[in-house]
Amino acid sequence: MKPTRTLTALTMGALLLLPAGITTAAPAATASSATVSERAVSWTPHVLDGAVKDILRVGDTVVVAGDFHRVADADRSRTHTRSNLFAFEHGSGEILRHFAPDVSGQVNSLAEGPDGTVVIGGHFSAVNGSASRGLARLSLAHGRTDPRFGAVLDDGSAYRLAGDGGDLYVGGSFSGINGIGQHGVAKLDADSGEVEADFAPGIEEQRRGQLRVQDLALSPDGDRLVINGTFTRVDGHDRHQIAMLDADDGSVTPWSTSAFEPDCDYSRMQTYMRRMDFSPDGSYFAVVTAGGPTVKPGLCKTVTRFENTDRPGARPTWSNHTGGDSLYSVEVTGSAVYVGGHQRWMDNEDGAHNAGPGSVEREGIAAVDPRTGRALPWNPGRSRGHGVEALHATDDGLYVGSDTERLADAYHARLGMFPTT
């Protein structure tokens, strides 16, 4: 194994690739190097086509969303038809026959709803034969839509959901919900689906293409909502592709960063921002990014840590570069920052589609030390494909969803789970 470079070396490498005036700051917390096992469990079902976009465990039920139509039992003895959504029992992998909703299009995101329900968001127009644009709430007991939830997008799609039980946050490309104009981000009553009128941040001035919120993440205490997307201003404040909002009223907090101002992607990519996640204690959050076909200065194709503060002009605590490959998903636990994409390396600040000095091989999935930002030894590997778009940590492991069939040198079609060691 190659020697781990010190934080000082990391900082110097990051400085070379950050915009002028941006430096790294000292980490605020320490973490152990414990990770989940490198061997996936044998009991997860298989998704036989398309791609998995999100995974959510509610009690002993695991819900899987994406763009697919066929799933199989773990032993591949039976194949089941499922339209972009299915559920199975955690621990046994048994596919739940009673939960088989018919969703007309891709499901991008999941959030736990009240009273044994799950909220789905995506690019669809109907659920179980009834009109339902972009949003729906389903009973986990029988898969039917919950008539108490009346939210529907006026247009566009939902890209990401987040909730705390009472409130539901929706990010996407819509211009309104339930006929109430609210562009790209909205807060709903999780029970009724009614739009919270007092939460109305204005995202503005897209850098390219369509004005939208690509992703959002809610802090564990429910106080802060981080959003990213194509916008460059929010409520008249400069917020280039990322902003932190007060989760109660949607007002823009003082936190800001210029780290994502460089155009390190390419003209056809509207935003290079992808998934975000808060640490369990809420002290920081991590952001992963995609990028263009060439390597340019900036934070494309990285995972980056920011502290959860009210500091304007915030600087990354650390950044870890893949050296030319996009990252799509991130999940933060107490001891690791897990990332997924179609990367070949991590710790690769000096790479340009090659293994630069000090880089480590990490095929499509990796774990990063939350304190130093360097890759941890964990290295199960997987077929890269487009990449991992779904990571979901539970108290006893890490679920992984993608578009390929090899995970940790075994057959796990588009879905797998690494248990805690």
The whole-number average pLDDT for the span 267-293 is: 97
- Measured between alpha carbons, how far is 337 from 375 in angstroms, rounded to an integer? 9
Run of H or E residues at 336: none
Three-class DSSP category at 13: helix
Instruction: Look at residue 83 and give its three-state secondary structure.
Output: strand
% of residues, the chain, pLDDT over 90: 91
The two tokens of residue 159 are 């890209």
Give CA–CA dist 149/366, Å, rounded: 38
Does the pTM surpass 0.75? The reply is yes
pLDDT tens readout for residues 118-168: 999 999 999 999 999 999 999 999 999 999 999 999 999 999 999 998 999
Helix (H, G, I), strand (E, B) or coil at 399: strand
CA distance 184 to 227: 10
169/180 Cα distance (integer angstroms): 15
pLDDT in the model for residue 165: 86
The pLDDT, as a whole number, for residue 298 is 97
What are the tens digits of pLDDT across the range 3-42? 333 333 333 333 333 433 333 444 433 344 589 999 999 9
Res 235: pLDDT: 97
What amino acid is encoded at 116 in this protein? Answer: G
The one-letter code for the residue type at 168 is L
Report the pLDDT value the prediction gives residue 33, as an integer from 0 to 100: 58
What does the radius of gyration of the chain's CA atoms come to, in whole angstroms? Answer: 20
* Dihedral over Cα of 404, 57, 284, 120: its sign: positive
Q: Is the pLDDT of residue 283 over 80?
A: yes
One-letter amino acid identity for 334? G
Residue 364 region, left (φ>0) first, then alpha (ψ -120 to 50), else beta? left
pLDDT single digits (tens) 314-336: 999 999 999 999 999 999 999 99
Tens of pLDDT, residues 347-397:
999 999 999 999 999 999 999 999 999 999 999 999 999 999 999 999 999
Average pLDDT for 291-307: 96
User: CA angle, 155 as apex, 151 and 159 as ends, to 5°?
Assistant: 75
Q: Helix, strand, or coil here: 381?
A: coil
Q: What angle do CA 29, 31, 33 make, to 5 degrees?
A: 155
* Tens-digit pLDDT profile for residues 207-233: 999 999 999 999 999 999 999 999 999
Structure confidence by residue, pLDDT tens digits, 52-72: 999 999 999 999 999 999 999
